[in-house]
Structure 1
Amino acid sequence: MSAEVGAGTARARWTPRALLYLALAIVGLVGTWTYNVIAILEERDFLGDWFQGGPAVSSLTTDLLVVAVAAVIFMIVEGRRLRMKRIWLFVLAAPLVALAFAFPLFLAFRERALSARGESRQP
């Protein structure tokens, strides 16, 4: 997943913000897959448990689905704007691995692309 934006641009850097997003991606990966592995080992009906948990779980599910759709749209639009390569890998990682991993990972590589363009501004 390269954040290179073309020939003649500055070299992409791991800015503090990019490292923060990368750390969040790792937390998202470990946090979600800990429960996925538990469900697999316990031979749980993962999807059934998810959708049969009552109104609170349904509310959370709806909330997360709307955020996921918005995140995927943002990744595609922003990735194209910055001419980032292989954006489809981030989009594919959202449902296959976890949005909590894919979106912060995209943001980390977005920061690298911005730094290569000289657009990254730290707060």
Structure 2
Amino acid sequence: MTRLLKTIALLSLGALSGCVTMDSAKPAMEAMKGQPISVAIAKLGYPDSEMSIAGKKVYTWNNQDSGSYTVPTYNTATTYVNGQPIYSSVQGSRTTSYDYQCKFKVIASQGDIIENFEWNGDIGGCEAFAMRLQKKG
């Protein structure tokens, strides 16, 4: 059981080491300030919504990914019969669910010039945006 937990922990760390965070995309976002909104649309695709608030235009992209996965479990037990140990192993499974979300906003002037960015979400939801923002071209 302990070996399985260690293996899962190591695999998780390995997977996270390849993650791209929104903080790592900040230089790309800063470089887009002062550019037309078409620059952001070229990187992110068409926004999910657009609205005018307080003399600014707010373009919003949403990302949501949810599901579940099953991992094997192993348990061992020792039972004594007539004073003799009997060792048994039981294999099973455990299902884990996930729900990743991110909302990314580009704030632009009424003339569609990018002024600022906002985001709210977790690494699983925002990673796709961060990767697209950092992509060259």
**TM-score normalized by the length of structure 2:** 0.31
Structure with more of its chain in strand, by fraction: 2
Report the structure, 1 or 2, having the larger helix content.
Answer: 1
Between 1 and 2, higher relative CO (CA 8 Å, sep ≥ 6) is seen in 1
Structure number with greater Rg is 2
